[in-house]
Amino acid sequence: CDNDDKLGYSCADPWNQTFQVGIEPNGGTDPFSPSVIWSGEQRSPDHYNLIGPVTAQVGAGGSVCVFLRSKTKWQYKYQDAYWDDASLVMTSPGTPPTDTPLPPPPTPTYGPSPTPRATPTPRPDGAIVHVVESGDTLFGIALMYGVETEQLRQLNAGSLGPNDMINVGQAIVISIPSASPTPSPLPAPPTTEPTAAPGAPGGPVEGASICVLAYHDRNGDTFRDEATEELLPNAEFTIADASGVVDRYTSNGVNEPHCFTGLTPGAYRVIQTAPAGYVPSGPAEYNVGLPKDTQLDFQFGDARSENPDEVAEPTQESEELTEPENRTTASRIFSTVAKVSGILVLLLAGGVAVLFFLNRRRM
């Protein structure tokens, strides 16, 4: 057989070709994987023979892959391999895993219920006050009472620190009595007004007090830098409540801050009129609630006016402070009489002209 061709024929060489079957127990498809379990090499020249069997334990994935392999030792011209009636048989069913029940969840342990806040009791003057506790913020207090943060800033303008800073134990005015009468026009100031002696801020006073000063706000940031922003003279301060003007003071630029002392707790308006040639750089009026035995401090900033001769226009309240009530009534009466008199003079003049014309016709 080896003489027909250079390569020759197999001539049923029993040592040339071998057969194997293999199982990959984890379902892998790589025939060269080391995890494939192969049967021993078997020979079956020119006839069918049983190859294998091979046994494997199915992996955790539950699937396997079967491989059929034929290989030769020598090179021949005709080398054919035929497979028939191959089968994969499950020899024994596996034991299905038992679902282990999960342990019951632990019983939740609840902490103590939070202690509810005490409902604030109105003061004798009717104002609602909140005493600051640890963890409180001005924004949180506003949410708690359902009010705007800006309302708290206005009612507590003299007692809040920078960036709305508050301290434990501090009394925050939430609201003032809603039944308070609307402030009526304030009476006119006296012709001669003595300058009140400046108070001593920070010292012990009887009752509540409000301290004020006016300064040159050079950079317009509404915060005073004592090293570069000096006190201003000729700024007029007015303290008023629902009944009218309580007190006034004109600054001298030396002895400020000036304190209005001995004030009764309640709602007040603090008004500043800027000196000539200046305009307020921030609010010129505050509505505040004054608690008992407390001191509120106000620093009013004024900036140079673009027109040096310009006088700061007073607010509506300031105009009411300087205009006598009887002047309004007298002015209206005088204006009405003048208008009526003018009409009568015109009518009389017209009558004379008509008579003169008729007389001329008759002549």
According to the model, what pLDDT value does residue 254 have?
A: 92
| Residue of higher predicted confidence among 244 and 1 | 244
Rounded to whole angstroms, how far apart are CA atoms 262 and 206?
6
How many helices (H) and strands (E) the chain has is answered by: 4, 13
pLDDT at 361: 46
Rounded CA gap, 313 and 304, in Å? 14
Kindly report, residue by residue over 242-297, the tens digit of the pLDDT.
Answer: 999 999 999 999 999 999 999 999 999 999 999 999 999 999 999 999 998 999 99
- How far apart are the C-alpha atoms of 303 and 279, rounded to whole Å? 5
**Of all helices (H) and strands (E), which one includes residue 250?**
strand 244-252
Q: Indicate the burial class of 168 (C-beta count within 10 angstroms; 0-12, 13-18, 19 or more).
A: exposed
Give me the residues paired with residue 130 across strands.
172
Reported as a single tens digit per residue, the pLDDT across 291-304 is 989 999 999 999 99
- Considering only the top CATH level, what class is 208-322? mainly beta
CA of residue 143 relative to chain centroid, distance? 12
Find which of 49-58, 199-208, 211-220 is predicted with most confidence, using mean pLDDT: 211-220
Cβ distance 156 to 298 under 8 Å? no
* pLDDT over 80 (residue 359): no
DSSP label of 88: -
Judge whether 271 and 210 are in contact, CB under 8 Å: no
pLDDT band at 312 (very low <50, low <70, confident <90, very high): low
Q: Contact at 8 Å (CB) between 10 and 16? A: yes
Pick the CATH number of 128-175 from 3.30.310.50, 1.10.274.10, 3.40.50.970, 3.10.350.10: 3.10.350.10
Q: Bridge partners of 120?
A: none
pLDDT at 322: 40
Percent of the chain exceeding pLDDT 70 equals 69
Q: What pLDDT is recorded for position 332?
A: 41
Residue 330 pLDDT exceeds 90? no
Of 157, 14, 150, which Cα lies nearest the Cα of 73?
A: 14
260 within 8 A of 267, measured Cβ to Cβ = no
Nearest-10 Cα torsion for 39, 44, 48, 54:
-10
Kindly tell me if the per-residue pLDDT of 80 is higher than 60: yes
C-alpha distances in angstroms, 284 versus 219, 270, 271, 327? 17, 8, 6, 27
Domain boundaries, the chain: 1-93, 128-175, 208-322
* pLDDT higher at 316 or 207: 207
Tell me how far CA of residue 144 lies from CA of 139, 147, 158, 169, 355, in angstroms.
Answer: 9, 8, 22, 17, 84
Judge whether 187 and 272 are in contact, CB under 8 Å: no
Helix (H, G, I), strand (E, B) or coil at 20: strand
With contact defined as beta carbons under 8 Å apart, do 269 and 285 qualify?
yes
Residue range 147-179, pLDDT digits in tens: 999 999 988 887 888 888 898 888 888 888 765
